[in-house]
Structure 1
Amino acid sequence: MYVAVKGGERAIDNAHAWLAEERRGDREVSELSVAQIREQLALAVNRVMAEGSMYDPDLAALAIKQSRGDLIEAIFLIRAYRTTLPRFGYSEPVDTGAMACDRRISATFKDAPGGQVLGPTFDYTHRLLDFALAAEGLEPPEAVMAEPLPPEVPHVTEFLDREGLIQVEEVPEDDTPRDLTREPLELPAGRPLRLQALTRGDEGFVLGMAYSTQRGYGRNHPFVGELRIGTVPVEVDLPELGFAVEVGEVVLTECETVNQFVGSKTEPAQFTRGYGLVFGQTERKAISMALVDRALRWEELGEDNVGAPAQDEEFVLYHSDNIQATGFLEHIKLPHYVDFQSELELIRKLRREAGTSSSAVTGVLAREAAE
């Protein structure tokens, strides 16, 4: 039970003013611009867009600045703003096969058709602090660009599919996915709804779930069939024209994992897939999402549930959202004076009763000893 706090308005106003002062920091230091955050903290911007369910690098950068770098607070700001926007319609499904790839790797085929491109990655850095970055104004060395990939790069799993070595993904034509940003989550959830929840789930939580599956809590140790990052066009079908038109582009990270499957009475031994798709260059999240997606498919694939947390749909989906988790966690710092007073009185009563009982027992024992 919450109670009203009288006389706190002035204190709240002062707290807001102090927050603004702390956000600005030392005024002898140049203020950080939204453009600088967007361009130089792009991975943080990408996470805010992905978990905020809104693709807008400028607004994501603004949210990071407003939140003093607290990414969960920035995600909260983006989600709150998104709820004020009108919904004009839905885009057509994006074709990731037509992605203009900046990065495209496969851990399953060395000579992947279409080629492999490392792209901008931390994978091969030495993880040593680069003190040259502290010398502001130095220009980084120019990258030597490789030959661009062809306009359409086939997915690696398509080559397994040609031999019937990987499970075919069948999607019913009339199965329109529910929109998790407009409707509350309900269980049991189909795979499209699970993927929506995972793509906007907290990266740390999804990573932890994925890691647990690799350590034996779910028997899920896949190969990365393909990881690709690049730009895809977004099209909207306009009834007035009778065809879809391109309205913009978005950067996506897509991951398909390849997992073993021993087969069943109706299915031969083959590989199965895990899938991840996230806004921006967010490959750790995309890989984690693919692992958890595969772990949650145990029932449809006829596998045993070994009781792993990542196989528990309710546990994963109800605890992956960092905004819900933050709200429930941080509400305990709000006034709970009445609640606590009732608990305090209960404890005092129990102690009094326990003390009375203890005294009575001591008296009986003393009389018995005297007799």
Structure 2
Amino acid sequence: MYVAVKGGERAILNSYRLLDEYRRGDPAVPELSLAQIREQMPLAVSRVMAEGSLHDPHLAALAIKQAAGDLIEAIFLLRAYRTTLPRFGYTVPLDTGTMQLRRRISSTYKDVPGGQVLGPTYDYTQRLLDFSLEAERVADPLPPAEVPLAAAMPRVTELLEREALIEPDLPAAGDPAPRDLTREPLTLPAERATRLQNLARADEGFLLSMGYSTQRGYGNSHPFAAEIRYGSAEVELFVEELGFAVTVGEIELTECQMVSQFSGNAEAGPRFTRGYGLVFGYGERKAMSMALADRAMRAEELGEAADAPANDVEFMLYHSDNVEASGFTQHLKLPHYVDFQANLELLRRLRAEREAAAPAPAAAAPQPAATQEETLA
């Protein structure tokens, strides 16, 4: 049964104050500003924007600060705020081929047209703690690039398309408008556009784990990173009164094109298949994991065995959302007094019935007296 608790509201208000105190830490230490979080924790900001489904570095930084660095809580905060925003319209589809690139690599072609652009990456660091950062040093400015990057670099997959060595990347039949999972619940079966939207805001850790599983044999996938791009792209909105699209802003994106395994049938010869990932901000690991998951969930439509966890569309889509998973897990902290008492009473009754039905233990048979020789032994 529920037990009346006095002072519950006061306890909750005190909890708020304790949380503020815990989040602030030692008052003698200068407080973090949103500008510091935004500029010096860009990867955390990128993840919160991507999984919060809202590209706004300032608000993402605010959410991180409010959540005391708990990124899943920050994602929850940003998603909740997003639901309060009005929608003015839909932008023109982004053309990632015209991105202003800061990083662009391919593991399939060494001399890729446009060149390999390493950009900012941890790939070549030694993963040793850099104690010089304790001194809060100022980084030396980089020299200007000797060769400016091309305004537009061709996608690596376009090279394969010219020889018909990769499946075509075509819109779905009838080109239906994609569903908006931020306003509509997920339903199955889900077309690829909906699946990709779900994966774009899915938990990075979950996708990383599932993508890793496909490479270890649970999905029979042998991918190549055809191309990974990071940079900024213009966002355009078509204005009916003007009759053309106008640029309304610029967003940072990370895109990953995976190519995997041969596929073919009587109509089409053997060719590579695709996996695709696109996320807000700088998030290569998330974009790569998304591409691996996308390819794994296409197993059935490509005529492959779909018996691995990553091939199960329902499992992947319904369990990849960290906000929903966190809420369902943490609801166990809420009062379950009635449920527990019901289970407790049932358990006591079953044990009592079992003990009552158990036969009485038989009397032990008398043992013969030991002989003198046995006693001495």
- TM-score over 0.5 for the alignment? yes
Partner of 2:139 in structure 1? 140
Asked whether the equivalents of residues 263 and 302 of structure 2 are also in contact (C-alpha less than 8 Å), the reply is no
Measured against aligned partners, the alpha-carbon deviations of 1:298-323 in whole angstroms (never above 9, x if no partner) come to 12212222x11000000000000000
Q: CA deviation at 1:2?
A: 8.3
Quote how far apart the aligned CAs of 1:143 are.
2.5
Could you tell me how far 1:144 is from its partner in structure 2? 3.4
Match of 1:155 in 2: 155
SS in 2 for 1:314: helix
Rounded to whole Å, the distance in 1 between the matches of 2:320 and 2:43 is: 20
Cα distance in 1 for residues equivalent to 2:228 and 2:2: 49
**Which residue does 1:181 correspond to in 2?**
182
Contact 1:63–1:78 (CA under 8 A) maintained in structure 2: yes
Question: In structure 1, what is the Cα distance between the partners aligned to 2:73 and 2:190?
Answer: 27
SS at match of 1:255: strand
In 1, are the aligned partners of 2:263 and 2:273 still within 8 Å (CA)?
Answer: no
Unaligned runs of 5+ in 2: 365-377
Measured after TM superposition, the shift of residue 366 of structure 1 is: 5.8
Structure 1 residue 169: deviation in Å? 1.5
Contact 1:264 1:302 in 2 (8 A): no
Aligned to 1:244: 245
Tell me, in whole angstroms, the C-alpha distance in 1 between the residues paired with 2:153 and 2:273.
21
Aligned to 2:299: 298
Q: Which amino acid aligns with 1:175?
A: P
Alpha-carbon distance, 1:41 to partner = 0.3
Matches within 5 A, 1:97-176: 97-136=97-136, 138-146=137-145, 147-171=147-171, 172-176=173-177
Aligned equivalent of 2:96: 96
CA distance 1:145–1:271, shift in 2 (3 Å): farther
DSSP 3-state at the match of 1:109:
coil
| C-alpha separation in 1, matches of 2:164 and 2:239 | 38
In structure 2, distance between residues paired with 1:5 and 1:251: 50
- 1:315-343 deviation digits (Å, cap 9, x = unpaired): 00000000000000000010111111111
Residues 277-286 or 256-265, more deviating? 256-265
Once superposed, what is the RMSD of the aligned Cα atoms? 1.7
CA displacement, residues 88-120 of structure 1 (integer Å, 9 cap, x when unaligned): 111110000010000000000001001110000
Q: Which structure has the larger Rg?
A: 2
User: Which residue does 1:203 correspond to in 2?
Assistant: 204
The alpha-carbon deviation at position 6 of structure 1 amounts to 4.6
Aligned equivalents of 2:6, 2:86: Cα separation in 1: 37
- 1:25 alignment partner AA: G
Matched, 1:19 2:25: no
Matched to 1:142, the amino acid is P
% same residue: 64
Name the residue aligned to 1:272: 273
SS at structure 2 position matched to 1:362: coil
Are 1:362 and 2:363 counterparts?
no
1:7 Cα deviation after fit: 2.6
For 1:59, what is the secondary structure of its paired residue?
Answer: helix
Distance 2:215 2:142 in 1: 35
Shift >6 Å, 4+ stretches: 1-4
Q: Find the counterpart in structure 1 of residue 372 from structure 2.
A: none
| Cα shift at 1:145 | 4.1
User: How far 1:141 moved relative to its partner?
Assistant: 2.5
Alpha-carbon shift at residue 149 of structure 1 (Å):
1.5
> Which segment is superposed worse, 90-99 or 171-180?
171-180
Q: Give the superposition deviation at 1:267.
A: 2.4
What per-residue deviation string (whole Å, max 9, x for no partner) do you get for residues 212-231 of structure 1? 00000001120000000000
1:266-300, CA deviations, whole angstroms, 9 ceiling, x for partnerless residues? 32111111000000000000000001100111122
TM superposition score normalised by structure 1: 0.95
Cα deviation, residue 140, structure 1:
1.3
1-structure distance, mates of 2:314, 2:82: 26
Give TM-score, length-normalised by structure 2: 0.93
